[in-house]
Amino acid sequence: MPLRALLALAILLLPVLLLCFPSAVIAGRTPFQETPITVGEASVTYNFGQQAVFSIRATASADITALYLYLQLAGSERVEVTPVPVDPGPSVQATFTRDLRLFPFPPFGIVRWWWEVRDAAGHQLTTPASTFRYEDNRWDWSSRTAGPITVYSPVDDPLYMQAALDIAAANLERIARSLNTSLPEKVEVYLYPSLADLQAALRMAGRDWMGGQARPELGVILVAVPHDDAYMAQMEREIPHELTHLLVYRLAGPQGYLYIPAWLNEGLATANEARPDPNLDSLLERARNEGRLIPIRNLCPPFSTDPAEALLAYAESGSLVRYIRQQYGDSGIRSLLLAYADGADCEAGVQRALHVTLDQLERAWRADLSGVGKWIVWMADNAPGLALWGLSFLLALPIALVGLRNTKHGVRNNR
Ligand SMILES: [Zn+2]
């Protein structure tokens, strides 16, 4: 009871206490407004894949004794805090250099940064957060925009850039319609002049990858399209593929996207390529003839990093998704994506969306590949039932024969 009485008294007296000590309350809420610290300049410059230099110039009435740089990288909740050495004084200038070869930023991701400055009199100031996009600034990118899409290329050829923009616009529309999802507000397409250049960029950003790359959470796709006679074919293959990942992300959501099995995500992207790679078909056919097809179950996790195995994985997944689309339509694909986005595992997603097991789906697809009729697949699927039926028929046969013989005798006797 005394505790409760005390609490009641405190609640009653709270407005009076606040009136008596307004400065204490205000100072706690906004401690930096009256700080005598001024930040004259805070800036950042970087060389992609090399280093980023953060600079600050600050003054105060007392000596500035401590500087902290805060960094938050795209896709992470984590905030990195780095104390930056400073010679104490009323006016300081300091830089912090981050080695991007050892501590890369996510390529094309947004970097948030701000400073905290403290002086010997106990004041502190936190600068407002600034952001920049960590794009590959080794190239002088030209850009061209239509609707939500912006295309960037170091090759400033209007025909080449317009072709990329048209292909991106037409395919974004087509794929969004097939998935029954809305268009993203912004899509940025970076065209690298060669696969080696793209791979180098990704390696410099601490990533290893064999082809194009989509950063769906950023709305960015990176593709390698050499400026040669075959650029149209390359664009029609690469751009729809990467756009598919962006739209699957949009349909599934940031969390759901992580649950989409690789065979479905990569298979759909491959099946959506407007100019399919003819090599994938022959690769698939050869693997089938030689009995080397990878079981679909093994294509649920991300594909192997071995290039030959990864190519076969793309070929199989693309073919499987085309088969599902042919049998179940676009709505079947959408149901699958939504089932996985909802957290279903690789097996359960197929069961829930298509009402067959993963094994049944795989057998039907393989039969379709080899041109075997549907009834053989049906027999294979129903083999246990058929065997039981056959056995019971064989067991029942002698009884039926005896019965028939007795009937015949009876008939004969009756005659
Ligand atoms: Zn892909």
Please write the tens of the pLDDT for every residue from 350-397: 999 999 999 999 999 999 998 855 555 555 555 555 555 555 655 555
CA 243 to centroid of ligand 1, rounded, Å: 9
Distance CA 352, CA 346 (A): 10
Phi, psi dihedral angles at 221 (to 5 degrees): -125, 145
CA 245 to centroid of ligand 1, rounded, Å: 7
Tokens of 18: 């606040």
CA 19 to centroid of ligand 1, rounded, Å: 63
| CATH classification for the domain delimited by 35-133, as one of 3.30.365.10, 3.40.190.10, 3.60.60.10, 2.60.40.770 | 2.60.40.770
CA 88 to centroid of ligand 1, rounded, Å: 52
Distance CA 122, CA 65 (A): 10
Please write the tens of the pLDDT for every residue from 223-254: 999 999 999 999 999 999 999 999 999 999 99
CA 266 to centroid of ligand 1, rounded, Å: 5
**pLDDT interval class at 273 (50, 70, 90):** very high
Specify which residues 73 forms β-bridges with: 111
Q: What is the CA radius of gyration of the chain?
A: 33
Please write the tens of the pLDDT for every residue from 58-91: 999 999 999 999 999 977 889 999 999 999 999 9
Please write the tens of the pLDDT for every residue from 27-56: 333 344 467 999 999 999 999 999 999 999
CA 338 to centroid of ligand 1, rounded, Å: 19
Q: Where in the chain is the domain with CATH 3.40.30.160?
A: 139-252
Q: If residue 173 lies in a helix (H) or strand (E), which one and from where to where?
A: helix 158-179
Domain 139-252 fold: Glutaredoxin (3.40.30)
Q: Where in the chain is the domain with CATH 2.60.40.770?
A: 35-133
CA 299 to centroid of ligand 1, rounded, Å: 13
